[in-house]
């Protein structure tokens, strides 16, 4: 029998069933309706189908079908093996199919079932979960069957549901993360996701919560911090610290720059007044304002940044006082022969560190005699060699400062003018006692 099972290739069997709900019968495959008798008769496929069995196979008709068996098979002997052999009788005539009564319960086609009224209705395989769709598919019921479709986020390829990479097609405006069957959109820092779940909107950081210490400027996707005048931004981009304007330049103020929170101001030393430009200092004339402490016998002499109380001129012997600032040595006095004929007192002030060379004082003869010429020189007080006399004409000369003089300092120079007259054989001199008061500051 095992050899027989290996060689049998085709077996078809049909059963004649009555059609549901009708008196006229319908025959299944392998039978044909005999209109005269109204019965389903077997069809001899071996005669009606050309080459029903091919090769070394032999066709044997069966009730409702046929068999294809080898022509020689020692393990199988059947009276139907060789219909042309006289060794075996011919197969019996086909048995007529039974004639079922019309009232028999009808059968429905595949995909249908009987309802209470014995009517064939569609079976909803999706609702009854009798479908064969995989979890990534959606069951869609159809008349007599169903179809499997892919869920959203998948597409069907050769019967398989493959995930759609939405990020590849630019579903998100900024950041996209693909997940099985879907995707997720996010935004860069400084943006927020809109209600559509795809587009991004700039976040106004300055409106919600000012992250800056002082001023906040919103930008697309971010923000910038700005500081008030007089402040500068720290490295963290948020904090503002005071700017030391005084460290930028030494020329902001004429005297002293004082840094303040978010600003600066200039100050002047005592004896000066800050001008309207808020940087320059101007000397206060204490003598003119009578803001001094000199006695009635003293003379108030104003200088840059202060004043001097000058005592009255007192002429030393053998000089006699001609006026308040001039002393004369009489020619008839024997003690005056080697002394200057007159001593004139002059006072001047000067700022500290004055640029050099600088002409600071001019000296000249008040009268000129025939045959006379004049020599000008510094007689005393120039031990530091900071000055020299430059003759500018026959009767005049200029005191020149050659080295800067730092104050505060008081300098007294005796400037001598020597008169030489060769006609009358005369030689005499006059002195200007110049007292220079150098202030502490350069303004």
The yes/no answer on whether domain 111-163 falls in CATH 2.10.25.10 is yes
pLDDT at 12: 38
**Of 64-73, 190-199, 238-247, where does mean pLDDT reach its minimum?**
64-73
**Of 129-133, 184-188, 379-383, where does mean pLDDT reach its minimum?**
129-133
Is the pLDDT assigned to residue 147 strictly greater than 60? yes
pLDDT at 215: 95
Is the pLDDT assigned to residue 187 strictly greater than 60? yes
pLDDT at 98: 56
The percentage of residues in the chain with a pLDDT greater than 90, rounded to a whole number, is 56
The yes/no answer on whether domain 314-438 falls in CATH 2.60.40.60 is yes
Is the pLDDT assigned to residue 22 strictly greater than 50? no
pLDDT at 72: 67
More confident site: 333 or 138 = 333
Summarised one tens digit per residue, pLDDT across range 223-261 is 999 999 999 999 999 999 999 999 999 999 999 999 999
Is the pLDDT assigned to residue 67 strictly greater than 80? yes
Strand partners, 414: 380, 433
More confident site: 83 or 230 = 230
**Of 107-121, 169-183, 421-435, where does mean pLDDT reach its minimum?**
107-121
pLDDT at 355: 95
Mean pLDDT of the residues in the chain:
85
**Predicted TM-score of the model (pTM):** 0.55
pLDDT at 384: 94
Is the pLDDT assigned to residue 23 strictly greater than 50? no
Radius of gyration of the chain from Cα atoms?
Answer: 67
pLDDT at 42: 86
Is the pLDDT assigned to residue 130 strictly greater than 70? yes
Tokens found for residue 33: 């309706």
Per-residue pLDDT band for 358 (boundaries 50, 70, 90) equals very high
pLDDT at 62: 86
In the chain, where the domains are located: 111-163, 314-438
């Amino acid at each position: 029998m095992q050899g027989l099972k290996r060689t049998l290739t085709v077996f078809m069997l049909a059963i004649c069933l009555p059609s549901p709900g009708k008196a006229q019968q319908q025959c299944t495959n392998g039978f044909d309706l005999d209109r005269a008798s109204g019965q389903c008769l077997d069809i001899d496929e071996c005669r009606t189908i050309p080459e029903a069995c091919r090769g070394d196979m032999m066709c044997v008709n069966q009730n409702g079908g046929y068999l294809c068996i080898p022509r020689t098979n020692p393990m199988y002997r059947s009276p139907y093996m060789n219909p042309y052999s006289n060794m075996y009788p011919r197969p019996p005539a086909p048995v007529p199919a039974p004639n079922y009564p019309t009232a028999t319960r009808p059968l429905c086609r595949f995909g249908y079932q009987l309802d209470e009224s014995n009517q064939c209705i569609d079976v909803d395989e999706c609702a009854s979960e009798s479908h064969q769709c995989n979890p990534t598919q959606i069951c869609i019921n159809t008349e007599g069957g169903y179809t499997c479709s892919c869920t959203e986020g998948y597409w069907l390829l050769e019967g398989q549901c493959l995930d759609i990479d939405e990020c590849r097609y630019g579903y998100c405006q900024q950041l996209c993360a693909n997940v099985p069957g879907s995707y997720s959109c996010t935004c860069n820092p400084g943006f927020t996701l809109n209600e559509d779940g795809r587009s991004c909107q700039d976040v106004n950081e300055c409106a919600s919560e000012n992250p800056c210490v002082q001023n906040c400027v919103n930008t697309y996707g971010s923000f910038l911090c700005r500081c008030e005048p007089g402040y500068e931004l720290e490295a963290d981009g948020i904090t503002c610290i005071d700017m030391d304007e005084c460290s930028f330049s030494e020329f902001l103020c004429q005297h002293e720059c004082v840094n303040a929170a978010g600003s600066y101001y200039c100050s002047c030393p005592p004896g000066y007044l800050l001008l309207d430009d808020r940087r320059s200092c101007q000397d206060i004339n204490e003598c003119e304002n009578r803001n001094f402490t000199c006695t009635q016998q003293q003379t108030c002499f104003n200088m840059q940044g202060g004043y001097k109380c000058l005592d009255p001129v007192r002429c030393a012997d053998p000089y006699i006082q001609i006026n308040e600032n001039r002393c004369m040595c009489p020619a008839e006095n024997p003690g005056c022969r080697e002394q200057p004929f007159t001593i004139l007192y002059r006072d001047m002030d000067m700022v500290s560190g004055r640029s050099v060379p600088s002409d600071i004082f001019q000296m000249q003869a008040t009268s000129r005699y025939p045959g006379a010429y004049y020599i000008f020189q510094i007689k005393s007080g120039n031990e530091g060699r900071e000055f020299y006399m430059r003759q500018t004409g026959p009767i005049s000369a200029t005191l020149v400062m050659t080295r800067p003089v730092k104050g505060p300092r008081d300098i007294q120079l005796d400037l001598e003018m020597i008169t030489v007259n060769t006609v009358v054989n005369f030689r005499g001199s006059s002195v200007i006692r110049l007292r220079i008061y150098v202030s502490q500051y350069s303004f």
